[in-house]
């Protein structure tokens, strides 16, 4: 009886070893690599309407003129810990007129800097832009007459908007 018990024990151990040696499961692997590129896309809906400086009250400069018919859209993704901003500049100044602009920034798409004067060097209009996409952000232009100059017509200036790294 003792002999049989010992034999069964040995047999059990060996059976276990045999079971372990014969694979009942196996694993293979594959790798998935997804790269998210940085994205920096900015667009405007078009040119604003013509700002016509009209008549003035005697003794005063002509009234300011505004246009809010254009919009801006942007899509931005940046590395963690960094942000972007939208700057604006004008190719050259109007004679006797300062041009201002405001760009809205709704719903986590950055912080509007409010109305800023457009000058020939870059000025911040929206800051703190992280990973977001937005469209239909209103651009409001305001022409402010600073001095009386000889009348002129159809003087176009190029305003450049740039989505760039926040410093």
Partner 1 sequence: MRKKKAVTCTLLAVSAVFVCSGGLCWAISISATGSWSETIGSPPPAAGSDLPNTCESTTNVISINITATSDNWGLTVKKINSKWHDNLHLWVKRTSDGSGSGSISGGSSYIEATDIDNDFFNGNDDRSGINIQLKLTGISIQVPPDTYTATVYYTVSDQ
Which of positions 87-116 make contact with partner 1 (CB under 8 A)? none
Residue (106 or 114) nearer to partner 1, CB = 106
Residue (63 or 78) nearer to partner 1, CB = 78
User: Binding residue for partner 1 (CB under 8 A) from 48, 61, 132, 140?
Assistant: 132
Phi-psi region of 81 (alpha: psi -120 to 50; beta: other; left: phi over 0): left
Residue (43 or 148) nearer to partner 1, CB = 43
Interface region with partner 1, contact rule CB under 8 A, candidates 27-35, 47-55, 60-68, 91-99: 27-35
User: How would DSSP label each residue in 58-118?
Assistant: TTSPPPPEEEEEEEEEEEEE--TT--EEEEEEESSPBTTEEEEEEE---TTS-EE--SEE-
15 counts as binding partner 1 under rule CB under 8 A: yes
121-155: b or e for each residue (b if 16 or more CB lie within 10 Å)? Answer: eebbbbbbbbbbebeebebbbbbbbeeeeeeeeee
Cβ(114)–Cβ(166) under 8 Å?
A: no
Q: Two tokens at 38?
A: 């940085």
As measured in angstroms, the least distance from the Cβ of 107 to partner 1 is: 12
As measured in angstroms, the least distance from the Cβ of 148 to partner 1 is: 40
User: Binding residue for partner 1 (CB under 8 A) from 1, 5, 24, 153?
Assistant: 24
Cβ(106)–Cβ(72) under 8 Å?
A: no
**Site for partner 1, rule CB under 8 A:** 3-4, 7-8, 10-11, 14-15, 18-19, 22-43, 73-80, 131-136
């Amino acid at each position: 009886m003792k002999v049989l018990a010992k034999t069964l024990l040995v047999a059990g151990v060996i059976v276990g070893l045999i079971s372990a040696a014969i694979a009942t499961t196996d694993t293979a692997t594959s790798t998935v690599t997804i790269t998210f590129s940085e994205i920096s896309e900015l667009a405007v809906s078009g040119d604003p309407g013509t700002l016509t400086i009209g008549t003035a009250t005697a003794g005063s400069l002509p009234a300011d003129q505004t246009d809010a018919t254009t919009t801006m859209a942007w899509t931005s993704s940046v590395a963690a810990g960094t942000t972007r901003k939208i700057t604006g500049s004008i190719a050259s100044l109007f004679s006797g007129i300062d041009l201002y602009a405001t760009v809205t920034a709704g719903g986590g798409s950055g912080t509007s800097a409010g109305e800023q004067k457009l000058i020939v060097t870059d000025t911040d209009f929206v800051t703190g832009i992280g990973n977001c996409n937005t469209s239909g952000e209103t651009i409001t232009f305001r022409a402010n007459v600073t001095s009386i100059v000889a009348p002129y017509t159809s003087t176009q200036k190029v305003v450049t908007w740039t989505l760039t790294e926040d410093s």
